[in-house]
Structure 1
Amino acid sequence: MQRAEPLSAPWIARFRFLPDLRDARYFQMFGQAAILAIGLVAREFEISALQMAAVAATCLASQWAGSMLNAVRLDWKSAAITSLSLSLLLRSDQIWPLAAAAAIGIGSKFIFRLNGRHIFNPANIAIVTMLLAGDVVWTSTGEWGSAMWFAALVAALGTLSTWRAQRLDVPIVFLAVYGGLLLARALYLGDPMAIPALRLTNASLILFAFFMISDPKTTPQDPRRRSLFVALSAALAHVLQFNFFMSDGIFFAPFIVGLVALAVPQKNNAGRFEWGSPPRLPFRPHRPRTAPAE
């Protein structure tokens, strides 16, 4: 006899063919896929269908291999998000550098781990590694432009994704600190305000703030530590870009701050993030549930 579905189960769970929208990764995949599709049509992104297919296949194959070697359940959603991120942000004249980036990103999840979770955002470490490897790749920052409608679209989709993943505070802090430093620099140099405004409306910067540095698995769970992590990343990104003339400084900054953070003792009072957790207001502390006293 088939057991009836509990009345307390979410209504969508009764339709087995539908995705469980409690998982914030579906919102992120939808947002990234929509941005990529619009970018290919309206912004003429310089990435071929064959390159995107190679990235997707390598991500899924690497995820499968890592899952088999570590005897864990295959989770295709993480591989899909990394694939979309690399298709959005990394470019090359050849296929193999993008495939290598995909393997590095997914492989890092299984190799570099601490306290039961991976340390680096897969797409971020893949981009940084390939940029350091030579001139076979470059980032797509020059393809995005500063069209207000595109920046607003990326921000709107990113807001939905980060709110659902309990990380809306991350892009708020990052853009506030980075934008404040841009404004201060413009005032110091006597530049017109149109210059920092133009930089802030670059859709690639907004994509980075909403879809990469906001990764809930690689940012601190405690809101105060998370805000500090993001603020330091934004400040370092500004320094790398304008003092060391690194156009890709925004990608190196969170990677460097993440490495430094490994040396700082951390308390796990805020608990661990789990996909499917209900959304919360930005900056609201997370209080792990405790068992009632007997």
Structure 2
Amino acid sequence: MGQDKGTSQPSEPSVWRDPRFYQIASLSTLLLYGLLVLHFDISIWQIVITISTAQLMQYVGTRYFHLLFFDPKSALISSLSLCLLLRTNDCAVAALAAGIAIGSKFVIRWKDKHIFNPTNLALVVILASGLGWISPGQWGQVAWFGFLIACLGSLVVTRAARADVTLTFLTFYVGLLVARALWLGDPFTIPLHQIESGALLIF
């Protein structure tokens, strides 16, 4: 007898296969560790305002550009990254950075894809305007090593689809640091310390 195909239900893909959930978990864990253990120089209000502004901009962009549904994951990743990287004494600047990051995804596009990395663009604008700064010295050895493992795990989760871009950037970046140390006669502990930056891993 033939199998009744009409009664079988196709299995729906699990939402947890989305690698963005892994990124959100990694960034959230690092932020909590930074607040509770490393005492990051960032207020709870700045975190709340950054995340809230990002979600609001994502919602406004979704409605204005008539997207099918509101997806908070990408905006949450960008806002968590801003919380980890951006330092400012003004919560309005944090809100501005979140607005620039998420707004750029909807406005600055080419062939239906956003051109710039939202977080990086916001950081460049804020740093260039002198409204904020990045604190590379806030990371401890344990946090750096733990987040390194998380980043490597992220490559596995995403099946290393864009690993060539990441590895090329890291190769050239490390090569430039080593070349600079050799040119200036600096000890290799200096480029090694520059490489051990949580900001670099997030980037």
Q: How many residues align?
A: 194
Shift, 1:34, TM fit = 1.1
CA RMSD of aligned residues (A): 1.7
Amino acid at match of 1:85: S
Give, in whole Å, the separation in 1 of the partners of 2:114 and 2:133: 25
Q: 1:154 aligns with which of 147, 150, 157?
A: 147
- Which of the numbers 109, 115, 129 marks the counterpart of 2:125? 129
1:163 partner amino acid: V
* 2:17 is equivalent to residue 22 of structure 1: yes
> What's the counterpart of residue 90 of structure 1?
86
Distance, in Å, in 1 between the alignment partners of 2:9 and 2:149 is 35
**What is the CA distance between 1:191 and its match in structure 2?**
1.6
Which amino acid is 1:153 matched to?
A: G
Indicate which of 157, 163, 171 corresponds to 1:164.
157
Deviations 1:94-149 (A, max 9, x none): 21000011111111111001011111111111111112223x2111323225x2x3
Report if the CA contact (8 A) 1:88-1:140 is conserved: no
1:5 aligns with 2:9: yes
CA contact (8 A) 1:186 1:192 kept: yes
User: What residue is the counterpart of 2:4 in the other structure?
Assistant: none
Preserved contact between residue 46 and residue 94 of structure 2 (Cα < 8 Å): yes
What runs of 5+ residues in structure 1 fail to find an aligned partner?
A: 14-19, 209-294
Match of 2:45 in 1: 50
Residue 181 of structure 1 pairs with residue 176 of structure 2: yes
- Return the TM-score normalized by structure 1: 0.62
2:35 to 11, 27, 40: 40
Q: TM-score, normalised by structure 2?
A: 0.88
Query: Equivalents in 2 of 1:132, 1:77: separation in Å?
Result: 27
5+ residue gaps, structure 2, are: 1-6
Q: Deviations over 1:210-242 (max 9, x none)?
A: xxxxxxxxxxxxxxxxxxxxxxxxxxxxxxxxx
CA contact (8 A) 2:58 2:103 kept: yes
Letter in 2 for 1:203: G
Residue identity opposite 1:152 in structure 2: F
> Which residue of structure 2 aligns with residue 207 of structure 1?
202
More helix per residue:
2
> After TM superposition, where is structure 1 displaced by more than 4 Å over at least 4 residues in a row?
none
Matched, 1:197 2:192: yes
SS at match of 1:21: helix
What is the CA-CA distance between 1:80 and the residue it aligns to? 0.5
> Does structure 2 retain, via aligned residues, the 8 Å contact 1:159–1:168?
no
Task: State percent identity of aligned pairs.
Answer: 40
**In structure 1, distance between residues paired with 2:111 and 2:74:** 19
Any residues of structure 2 matched to 1:255-294 within 5 Å, and which? none
